[in-house]
Amino acid sequence: MSALRAAREILQTIAGHGWRSHSTKSAQNLHIAKPGSGFSFELTDEQKEFQATARKFAVEEIIPVAAQYDKTGEYPLPLIKRAWELGLMNSHIPESCGGLGLGSFEACLITEELAYGCTGMQTAIEANSLGQMPVIIAGNEHQQKKYLGRMTEEPMMCAYCVTEPGAGSDVAGIKTKAEKKGDEYVVNGQKMWITNGGKANWYFLLARTDPDPKAPASKAFTGFLVEADTPGIQIGRKEMNMGQRCSDTRGIVFEDVRIPKENVLIAEGAGFKIAMGAFDKTRPPVAAGAVGLAKRALGEATRYALERKTFGKAIVEHQAVSFLLAEMAMKVELARMAYQRAAWEVDAGRRNTYYASIAKAFAGDIANQVATDAVQIFGGNGFNAEYPVEKLMRDAKIYQIYEGTAQIQRMIIAREHVGKFKA
């Protein structure tokens, strides 16, 4: 707690006016101008400080060790602890729970810089946001203080347990069941691809409480808060994935796990709405992470193109390469604008489903395109693990898959777009 308090005091000194309580409806968010003051791309001094702190941490502490963590798959606990000390984790936890209470926009600025260093580490850190968001948007005061408060006292992780072996994009296909028995719910089922699954202190769990298979998703599922050390929880092996290898991804089995009724979020049957609502808040930071990776790929490719010579001149002087860099730069800039708009909508207190899906889909796609183009610019060297772009290409793929696939995002965008014309 002392480290977080120190970080907060430093940032308060910078801000001059102290930190606001977390509120998506507050007109005082750091980046939101007063009503009627117009549109601006300028960051506040406080936002620039967050950005600079995260950038310095990424360049000086993450990048030098990222390749080694990628090779070993080891969980980057020392760096996670350091990020916590610097106030770069859990930035959205309300002040009432001991957090900084920052908005989505600030969180995205931080996330982009961390992802520039290593998206595996950024994903491990950002998974906390996904696990915490259901508590932030739906938890009562006791639940928030109990589960969010502890995360401001020492570095610890949480996880979002929704995906199952047979239910990824089709969340309504979840089979994990919770049966009410007295003042408890007994849970049985299996979750899969859970980020921080083996490191979490607690989980947000989505389970079916209505046994009727025809019950609508809006009433069939319930959201629970579960202590990770609850008897009956079996944590699977760490999965070795294509990319983001230092992130901890596992399957989790729940066998007769007893959860007290006071750990239900809102009420029985409200879980699906809570789980989906969390995505609107967490997809902008995911998009920001994809932009961070793309920015890194663009930077690596540009520096290489300035140094590598063919036919008597630097390859950047060949139009084929310079035009490729131009296309990459366009994509990075536009994707950044997309996530910033989605985050701005959140902090303005507006429903951002449309913009969140646009940001997530576009940023995920361009991260893959830019990383692939970076490998192309590096040529044969880009295909080799001794050069950084090979890792970036592997790390990029997951951005088109987790927290809603690229195809699911297009379904949401189409639904939201067409709905405007039907209204």
Cα–Cα distance measured from residue 5 to residue 198, given in angstroms and rounded to the nearest whole number: 28
φ, ψ at 74 (rounded to 5°): -65, 145
Joined tokens for residue 199: 């490191």
Asked if 174 and 164 touch (Cβ cutoff 8 Å), the reply is: yes
Residue 314 β-bridge partners: 309
- Computed from CA positions of residues 305, 307, 308, 314, in that sequence, does the dihedral angle turn out positive or negative? positive
- CA torsion, points 309, 315, 318, 320, in degrees to nearest 10? 140
Question: Is 49 part of the annotated catalytic residue set?
Answer: no
Q: What share of the chain is helix, strand, coil (3-state, %, to 5)?
A: 55, 15, 30
How far is the C-alpha of 279 from the C-alpha of 116, rounded, in Å? 22
Given 300, 345, 390, 403, the catalytic residue: 403
Residue of 130, 164, 138, 143 lying closest to 271 (CA atoms): 138
Residue 335: C-alpha distances to residues 267, 284, 286, 355, 376 (Å): 37, 11, 12, 12, 21
- CA 25 to chain centroid, in Å, comes to 22
CB 223 within 8 A of CB 270: yes
Alpha carbon distance 361, 346 (integer Å): 17
Kind and range of the H or E element at 8?
A: helix 2-15
Active site residues: 403
